[in-house]
Structure 1
Amino acid sequence: MSEPVKGKVEWFKDYQFVGHIEGDKCSVILGEGGISPMKLLLLSVAGCTAYDVVMILQKMREPIKGLEVEISGERREEHPRIYSKVHLHYKIHGNVSEEKAKRAIELSQDKYCSASAHIKLSGAKLTYSFEIVRED
């Protein structure tokens, strides 16, 4: 079993909180003047899958030059206001094979991305699309 992840959130002032994970070099401001925890959750999903897709395409020896992952989410009206729908759009830069790009995204979404798995386990419908931005 892996080591537990430890962190803390401290009330800074008004409705601002600072979060930090032990061993990490950055902190995040939550609440007013910062990012909301639910928006941070979306960014976590996009970051997790972006990491996977780059690593997988590099292991496939595909000529990836850049990647952007756009994410949008819709939340329920009733509490708890969890996400009911999440959509990811991947913009893959480089002369990457469409088939391999699709496979890399599928591997991330179906096997590797733990953050996406959390969203799906909460009952949200997670969809994705992609485009390849070719380089001349």
Structure 2
Amino acid sequence: MSDVVKGKVKWVEGEQFIGRIEGDQCSVILGEGGISPMKLLLLSVAGCTAFDVVMILKKMREPIKGLEIEIEGTRRDEYPRIYKEVTIHYRIYGNVDEKKARRAIELSQEKYCSASAHIKLSGAKVNYTLEIIPES
């Protein structure tokens, strides 16, 4: 089964563009006054893995109360200026077992997160760190 995604980007003026995926409710401003496509790619990786980790920990019946992800990417100097290294910091809130949290992250990074897979296929090294903030 093939999943076809359609979208459209329209030049507004100057260096500003609006992008929208068919069937989605929101639009994205690209360029001037908005986000650059490469920054959006980085946020896509963070959003993709965040979704995976929350769903996997819920399936594991872990008491996750929250998740924040900080992501940092370093790009090549030469064109195309793709990411050469990405670091993802997972901050998980709740009395979550660290071993299960690491397993959820590994499953996301090795199997489920398509956005991370795209970054890795371009040759980027993807690292991660984990911090668990237990409930008092």
| Partner residue, 1:62 | 62
Q: Note if 1:79 corresponds to 2:72.
A: no
User: Structure 2 length normalisation: TM-score?
Assistant: 0.99
- Structural mapping, 1:39-58, within 5 Å: 39-58=39-58
| Partner residue, 2:125 | 125
Cα shift at 1:72:
0.1
User: Structure 1 length normalisation: TM-score?
Assistant: 0.99
Cα shift at 1:7:
0.3
Q: Note if 1:9 corresponds to 2:1.
A: no
CA distance in 1, matches of 2:65, 2:87: 23
Question: Could you list the runs of 5+ residues in structure 2 that have no partner in the other structure?
Answer: none
CA distance in 1, matches of 2:38, 2:29: 13
Number of aligned positions between the proteins: 136
Could you list the per-position Cα deviations for residues 47-67 of structure 1 after superposition, in whole angstroms to 9, with x for gaps in the alignment? 000000000000000000000
- Structural mapping, 1:80-119, within 5 Å: 80-119=80-119
Question: RMSD across aligned C-alpha pairs, in angstroms?
Answer: 0.5
Cα shift at 1:14:
1.0
Counterpart secondary structure, 2:126: strand
| Segments ≥4 residues shifted beyond 6 Å | none
Cα shift at 1:13:
1.3
Question: Could you list the runs of 5+ residues in structure 1 that have no partner in the other structure?
Answer: none
CA distance in 2, matches of 1:3, 1:109: 21
Counterpart secondary structure, 1:91: strand
Identity level (%): 75
CA distance in 2, matches of 1:35, 1:17: 10
